[in-house]
Structure 1
Amino acid sequence: MAKTTAGKVSITPRPPVDLSGEAGWVPFDAPALVGESLRFVSGEPDGNRFRVRYYRDGEQHLQARIWFGPETEGPPGHAHGGSMAAVFDEVLGLAAWAAGYPIVVGNLNVSFRNLLPLQKVVTVESRVVSAAGRKVMVHGRICHGETVYAEGECLCITIPGK
Structure 2
Amino acid sequence: MDKTHANSTCSNRPDLRGEINWIPFDAAAFVGSSLRFVSGDPEGNRFRVSYYLDSTQHLKAKVWFGPETEGPPGHAHGGAMAAVVDEVLGLAAWAAGYSIVVGNLSVSFRNMLPLHKVVSVETKVVSAEGRKIMVHGRIYCEKTTYAVGECLCITIQPKNINIR
Q: Same fold (TM over 0.5)?
A: yes
**Where do 5+ consecutive residues of structure 2 fail to align?**
1-12, 160-164
Residue 105 (structure 2) aligns with: 108
Residue 161 of structure 1, CA deviation:
2.0
Distance (whole Å) between structure 2 residues aligned to residue 75 and residue 17 of structure 1: 21
Residue 8 (structure 2) aligns with: none
After superposition, the C-alpha distances for 1:26-50 in whole angstroms (9 at most, x for unaligned) are 0000011110000000010000000
Distance (whole Å) between structure 2 residues aligned to residue 19 and residue 124 of structure 1: 12
After superposition, the C-alpha distances for 1:83-140 in whole angstroms (9 at most, x for unaligned) are 0000011000000000000000000000000000000000010000000000000000
- The one-letter amino acid paired with 1:81 is G
Q: Alignment identity in percent?
A: 75
Structure number with the bigger relative contact order (C-alpha 8 A, sep ≥ 6) is 2
TM-score (norm 1): 0.89
After superposition, the C-alpha distances for 1:131-156 in whole angstroms (9 at most, x for unaligned) are 00000000000000000000000000
Residue 66 of structure 1, CA deviation:
0.1
Residue 60 (structure 2) aligns with: 63
Residue 17 of structure 1, CA deviation:
2.0
Distance (whole Å) between structure 2 residues aligned to residue 141 and residue 71 of structure 1: 21
Distance (whole Å) between structure 1 residues aligned to residue 53 and residue 108 of structure 2: 24
Distance (whole Å) between structure 2 residues aligned to residue 28 and residue 161 of structure 1: 26
**Where do 5+ consecutive residues of structure 1 fail to align?**
1-15
TM-score (norm 2): 0.88
Residue 75 (structure 1) aligns with: 72
Moved over 3 A (4+): none
Number of equivalences:
147
